[in-house]
Amino acid sequence: MNPMPIGAQSRPGNAVAAPHAVLSGAVDTRTASLPSVAACGRWAYRGKVGVAVLVTALIAGQVPPPTSQESPLLPGASDGCDVPSPHDDLAGTTRPLMATKLRPGQPARPILLHLAHHAAADPCDSAVGRFNLVHHRAWYDNEGEQSTRDIVRWYADDDSGAELMTQHPSDGFGVIEDFWPPGWLHDRNLFHAYRSTDWLRAKSRLQNAQLNRTTQLVAGLAALATWHSPGPPQRALAAQALADTTALTAHPNTPDHAGRTGIAVAATSDNGRERHLLILHPSTGAVLAYERAILTPTGWRTRVYLLLLTHTHTPHRYWEPPATNTPPVALTVQREMPRRPGVWLVPAEHPCTPELEPGEVSPR
């Protein structure tokens, strides 16, 4: 998903690490290349045939999942509705992830329409405060190099916000702090994302670099879920946008890596070799998890996995500027349009050439 931003401002004494190209603006679309026939001879040919058969079987839902799943990464993980802190003990969390095993799917539209029309309330919906507060954890596999991030984010409708992040490997940093004054998150395209289904699709497309419109929406909704804490009407709007999207399959009773069970909504691209999976709460419609996986000769391999742990609201960030009695300065529009000047200067035809009397020679 490309889900992480580069901080606009850091607290003193803290360096901001460059984020992975996964959620905050762009989804990492790099996939492992399958071997060519020229490079690997008969093995490559058999591998391609095997991959083609596997793609067909997986999409058609003819391959039942194994009876056992990998043990959850965060069993029973929940921060409730209180303001969480980023977890700093991530050393044991970086390991290869087993891709989500899906049972045979079905057309997603009927299930998503039912969810859109019956989105239930979440216990944290009653929390008040102008800041959306989201806690999530993300795992990345970049060609075999694993890393983990644990992030708490604040976001308000004036495009202000904050972030506390820990990561492993840490590169020697502890908690990385970011703080954005009003307007500084404008380039993240988060403002009023849940205004309408059309608005939501447009904002979702701007969150990632996917070319496929279907996977754009799935990955984009996951990225927006790392900033926004939508209420029931907004969650219903997201379910409606998904229901109106073709080529999606629904897989009920799919567990995420926190041991929670939800409705997995799957989309594929790159001729079926890349899969984007969004796991939704079966009654509230809240995003529980997101996975981007690629198909290899040995099966699906997870490249990005995201767990959404807390969605709530709060009146304050981890740090606020000191209160002052100075009234806020109204923001002025910095954009300027070209316009005609009030005075026109018309130069003479030959401004530097004096008139010569008959018989005179120009000094030049």
User: CA 86, CA 175: separation in Å to the nearest integer?
Assistant: 8
Q: What is the pLDDT of residues 125-162, one digit of tens each?
A: 999 999 999 999 999 998 878 889 999 999 999 999 99
Paired strand residues for 274 = 269, 294
**The Cα angle at residue 142 between residues 218 and 146, in degrees rounded to 5:** 105
Higher pLDDT, 155 or 9: 155
Whether the CA torsion 119, 123, 125, 126 is positive or negative: it is positive
pTM as predicted: 0.71
Q: Does residue 35 surpass a pLDDT of 70? A: no
65 C-beta neighbours (distance < 10 Å), count: 13
> How many other C-beta atoms are found inside a 10 Å radius of the C-beta of residue 334?
5
pLDDT digits (tens, 9 = 90+) for 170-205: 877 789 999 999 999 999 999 999 999 999 999 999
Query: Are 141 and 302 spatial neighbours (Cβ–Cβ below 8 Å)?
Result: yes
When pLDDT is cut at 50, 70 and 90, the band that residue 6 belongs to is very low
Both tokens of residue 96? 């290869």
Instruction: Work out the widest C-alpha separation in the chain, in whole angstroms.
Output: 110
| Per-residue pLDDT reduced to its tens digit, 171-180 | 777 899 999 9
